[in-house]
Structure 1
Amino acid sequence: MKTKSGASALAILLTLATLTGCGMTDSEKSSEKKPLAGTSTSRDVSDAVEKVSSGIYDLIGVQGKASDSRPGVDQCSGRSREKYFRIFHPWSFYPASAGDLDEAMKRLKEELPKNGWKIVEYGPDTSRNKNINLTADNDEKKVGVNIVQMSKNDPPKLSLMVVSGCYEVPDGQEVEHF
């Protein structure tokens, strides 16, 4: 079970890495790199990503509880691990009533675009449960989110992964990994 969860999280992280601008592209092979999200410390970006997660939680609009998880640091594909990073924040939302799960996902699909997000993918995945996946980017905040509606879980939940774009640490500093 943990292997499936880890593999799913890795697949989501790789998908969001592509969407948030830190993946390898054909143009990078010709020494052109995608633009960075900016220059910052991993702690500051971590704080910003937690605020984004909190904003998404507010958009859910149904009673429930969020898991207590902290952001982590990941490397940017094709870039130095000591100088470049992205922040990921996995968390889950458990509605007070299983019947509210559909409403929570519906609200997110409606409210995210009203709040600066562009939905880039929506629909059932290829799993046996045909979980509904919603992937969205927020260019202004330089983050992406993947939300999976897991109706058949016990308990039912939304599984969320918020991922920042690729940042560079300020000159003279190294990425703090946590």
Structure 2
Amino acid sequence: MKIRLSACVLALPLTLTTITGCGMTEKDSDATPSAGTSTSRDASDAMEKLSSGIYNMIGVKGKASDSRPFVTECSGKDTKTYFRIFHWWSFYPASAKDLDVAMERLKAELSKHGWKIISYGPDTSKNRNINLTADNDQQKAGVNIVQMAKNDPPKLSLHVVSGCYKVPDGQKVESF
């Protein structure tokens, strides 16, 4: 468990840089794009809806983990008025053989629904997990999906992240 957690912690900055880079950037390639103005709750609801859309694209029987989106800061911005939404969840197919099918469906379906595939292929881990990273410029969101075939049970690990939101004037970021 400690090894997996450490690997996840080390991989997180790379994943977030990858997800929030590429097509989602505006002027500066390292800048997180603006996602507009919203309350934390409304942005969280929108992220959950976006994740549900991705879930529907999987197209195989299985179960998603029960997780809720959460609020975090926008790097380099005022934490009282700017925030991002992250939604990390997992998908466990009913049958291990459906894991490859689920990943291939996502690769095909995301492109049909406004997502641009940024990268796809095995990572450098011992397990050579298949990674898919995609951006949705219209939604100002990114997703990183890792196919963990050698986990027990096998699963897809999904990290969905928004661009930077600004709260409406006179309001503050609500953390949860």
TM-score (normalizing by structure 1): 0.89
RMSD: 2.0
Structure 2 match to 1:167: 165
Counterpart CA distance in 1 for 2:34 and 2:166 is 7
Letter in 2 for 1:98: A
Q: Percent identity?
A: 66
The alignment status of 1:15 with 2:18, answered yes or no, reads yes
Structure 2 match to 1:131: 129
Counterpart CA distance in 2 for 1:81 and 1:137 is 24
Q: 1:60 aligns with which of 58, 66, 70?
A: 58
Specify every segment of 5 or more residues in structure 2 that has no aligned partner in the other structure, as ranges: none
Deviations along 1:54-92, whole A, 9 cap, x unmatched?
Answer: 000000000100000011111111111111111000000
Letter in 2 for 1:70: R
Letter in 1 for 2:61: Q
Report if aligned partners of 2:20, 2:141 keep a CA contact under 8 Å in 1: no
1:34 CA displacement: 6.4
3-state SS, counterpart of residue 147 of structure 2 = strand
Counterpart CA distance in 1 for 2:20 and 2:50 is 17
Structure 1 match to 2:8: 5
Counterpart CA distance in 2 for 1:89 and 1:34 is 17
Counterpart CA distance in 2 for 1:103 and 1:41 is 37
Task: State how many pairs are aligned.
Answer: 172
1:25 CA displacement: 4.8
Deviations along 1:15-53, whole A, 9 cap, x unmatched?
Answer: 323354489757xxxxxx765210111111100000011
Counterpart CA distance in 2 for 1:103 and 1:34 is 32
Q: 1:95 aligns with which of 93, 96, 102?
A: 93
Instruction: Map 1:30-69; keep pairs closer than 5 Å.
Output: 36-69=34-67
Q: Given the superposition, is the C-alpha separation of residues 35 and 165 from structure 1 closer, same or farther in structure 2, using an over 3 Å criterion?
A: closer
Q: Given the superposition, is the C-alpha separation of residues 116 and 98 from structure 1 closer, same or farther in structure 2, using an over 3 Å criterion?
A: same
**Between 9-18 and 83-92, the greater mean CA deviation after superposition:** 9-18
3-state SS, counterpart of residue 37 of structure 1 = strand
3-state SS, counterpart of residue 114 of structure 2 = coil
Report if aligned partners of 1:135, 1:145 keep a CA contact under 8 Å in 2: yes
Counterpart CA distance in 1 for 2:72 and 2:27 is 13
Specify every segment of 5 or more residues in structure 1 that has no aligned partner in the other structure, as ranges: 27-32
Letter in 2 for 1:39: T
Report if aligned partners of 1:68, 1:91 keep a CA contact under 8 Å in 2: yes
1:151 CA displacement: 0.6
Report if aligned partners of 2:34, 2:140 keep a CA contact under 8 Å in 1: no
Report if aligned partners of 2:82, 2:164 keep a CA contact under 8 Å in 1: yes
Letter in 2 for 1:176: E
Deviations along 1:121-172, whole A, 9 cap, x unmatched?
Answer: 1111111111111011111111110000001111100000000111111111
